[in-house]
Amino acid sequence: MAIRKVARMGHPVLRQKARTLTVEEIRSPEVSRLISDMVETLHEYGGIGLAAPQIHESVRLALVEIPEGSVRYPEGAGITQPLAVFINPEIQVLDKEEQGFWEGCLSVPDLRGLVQRPKKIEVCYLDAEGKGHTLVAEGFLSTVLQHEFDHLDGVLYIDRLRDTTRLAFVEEYQRYFQD
């Protein structure tokens, strides 16, 4: 296990479309090492999600770790709370109505931005064993997953800002915008 350096906005790896992993690759020692490194890196930097391109690995894999109590994963999603591994995720929007959350990103440090995204989605993905699952997510979890999976297509949350007056440094966000 190793803590990896997180790529910051401007690094080309964050703008590439990441490639799909095969089931054979998913079950390989290389990918399990990558997942361990991502877990360790996420814990070191702090945060609730990390996508492989953020540690310079352009593959379709993301981790989400939401503090227990704040969000519940639905049953049958193959997720051992609070940490979940999503490989080759595919999103389908179930409710186009949008919700706004203030987002942050380890690759865009010290900033927060208010982003509107669809409320409810369905995600098909493979877990760390290569097993397929379907998950319906709404509310905060829906936003978190869309943010992480955007990284796999080279998209950052700032690309989705509609109102740049709702982009702030963390300190100013806490002072002027946080409830």
Contact 26, 87 (CB under 8 A): yes
Q: Any idea what DSSP says for residue 46?
A: -
Token pair, residue 73, equals 């994963």
- Cβ proximity to Ni ion: between 21 and 152 the closer is 152
3-state SS assignment for residue 159: helix
Q: Which of 105, 126, 128, 137 binds Ni ion (CB under 5 A)?
A: 105
Nearer to Ni ion, 47 or 82 (CB): 47
CB of 127 to Ni ion, least distance (A): 21
Q: How far is the CB of 22 from Ni ion (least distance, A)?
A: 25
Residue 31 binds Ni ion (CB under 5 A): no
Q: Is 4 exposed, middle or buried (0-12, 13-18, 19+ CB in 10 A)?
A: buried
6 binds Ni ion (CB under 5 A): no
**Distance between CA atoms of residues 108 and 41, nearest Å:** 16
Active site residue 138: no
Q: Is 114 in the site for Ni ion (CB under 5 A)?
A: no
How does DSSP assign 55-81, residue by residue? Answer: GT--BSEEEEE--TTT--PPTTS--BT
Q: How far is the CB of 147 from Ni ion (least distance, A)?
A: 6
Mark the segment that binds Ni ion (CB under 5 A) among 3-11, 34-42, 56-64, 104-112.
104-112
Residue 152 touches Ni ion, criterion: CB under 5 A: no
Catalytic choice (103, 122, 148, 172): 148
CB-CB contact of 150 with 144 (8 Å): no
For residue 107, the minimal CB distance to Ni ion (Å) is 6
Which positions are annotated as active-site residues? 148
